[in-house]
Structure 1
Amino acid sequence: MSTTPLSRRGAALTAAVLSLALVLTACGGGDDKAGGTTGDKAAATRTVKAGNGDIAVPTNPQRVVTIGNTDLPFIDMGGKPVGVTGVADSELNLLPEDQRATFKNATNLGDEVDLEKVAGLKPDLILVQIPDAEFKKMEKQLATIAPTAFWGLDTEWKALAEGLAEAGNVKDSLTRQKADFEGSVAKLKQTYADLIKTTKFVNLDRYASSDPGTYVIGDIGCVEIAQDDVGLNFPKAAAGKDPLAYENLPFEQLSKLSTYDVITYPADDKGQPTELFAPVVETNTWKALPTVTSGRALGVFCPGNNSYGAVLRYLGSLDKALATLPPKK
């Protein structure tokens, strides 16, 4: 399972090309606004495997810059980057307060990666997940600034977490998160064993890019965890086909959902339909669905599906929602 294509952030690139002389000059300054220490970089190194090969990184990196989709997973594991790239306010607002503070305390490199600004931060490690083509444009320049570990967008979220934890020296945190994740999954499987065997679920969603008056059958994102890890029975695309979530369906087709036992849909952390999904629940077709009138339509909070902390919050919301299901008649 890979991270959700519709929510991936690719960092746009500037045309800036830095010479090694510029990088060395930039190292004379400093920006200590976000964690880390000044002074000599750690001399000890170790080798980690990344999408761009075997990379020698500091044993204990002190000034880490995160680019693209590495920002939030690294922070989620307790990392304190000195530089981050752009994250939408809607995404940032879903973070716990301490993680928002860590993000805001870092130098924001924006949606466009200014390599001169990166060099000015004097990083001793750069972590990157953006489209391959964009990384190729800046790979050599980044390597002259600091050891750079890159992962492509097709990297599965658990593998990305492992790579970031190894490179960024936050493996203790990852170990705890993985144990919590495995415990949560095991609890859900045990608690809802009968439900898993006998219940047909369908997950609905809407995106900012969705056409007016449409929804999608969501088979990407957090629902993949409910399906692949917990084992709930959700529809998904056939092998080799585009995800079901890529097809906009008119509200009139909501009536076809009566063949499913339970509907899940995106909700905020208070259980209310998200602003994007609200138009669906306001339709008469939705209100008339037997699944809805019988209390078997569940709002579930998904703050993200590319880091263990966010996934654990999703699993907690899913557990709480499933617990409200009335018995089958």
Structure 2
Amino acid sequence: MTYLVASDWPEEPAGKRFRALVERPGALAIPGAHNGMAALQAREAGFEALYLSGAAVSASMGLPDLGILTVEDMSFYIRQVARASMLPLLVDGDTGYGEALNVMHMVRSFEDAGAGAVHIEDQILPKKCGHLNGKRLASPEDMAAKVAAAARARRHLYVIARTDAVANEGMDAAVARARLYLEAGADAIFPEALTSAEMFREFASRVDAPILANMTEFGRTPHITLEEFSSWGCRMVIWPVSALRVAAKAQKELYATLAAEGSTKSLLPRMQTRVELYETIGYHDFEALDASIAASVAPPPID
């Protein structure tokens, strides 16, 4: 059934659905989905929540992850992913797109677009990927003000405060920041770019709140499984750019093959077929719906 008339479209707000998933035992797996197709495929695989990464959206637009995106850019993708999947969506809110009032605008815009959760980070612009060097941090008080603004503006959105302080200021400072952000109204904490299992265990033991772990590839965090994160007390795990990385690699190989061979024939076994595409996007459901509404009806005979 298409999302246009889906009988299983959830009535409960996305934020409440996201919160309920986090409150279950164990860690919630939240893979990244940077467009509607990825969202459909992730849902088909059985995932119950999705992540929209600013880095993935930036890259898909041919831009670096340096805080260039706007609230409207992200809202476009939120609507797309939330509509396609009907799943609660955690969204990368970068630094909040400004100060307190901008954060409040972001929260309302993301909620209206269909988001269930957002995380805001304590960097200052121009921000960087959390796994790069040279990050600059806002003061703890300035970041706490943004968290408080987000908590005040939301209707149901689950608010996660991200701290990049471990690399710059050490574990003790990051823990202190996390506690301050929780006092300001954050529901959970995202300690970015931890570099060992021991650091995750320590952070989770010292911060009394749900913890989000970032299992990005090619970063500072070693490869850790969902089960391991869960055993250390983490409640959410994201794989933010994995789907984009795989898709981008495949596209590059496609274009190189087409340029070299003048044909895509050798890549046919690696392609999604037309039948598979139509099944994924529900093509025939849309077609049948359109036919049922737009079908011509002859007028009754005139006496």
**TM-score category, normalised to shorter length:** under 0.3
- TM (norm. structure 1) is 0.23
- TM (norm. structure 2) is 0.24
Which of the pair is proportionally richer in strand?
A: 1
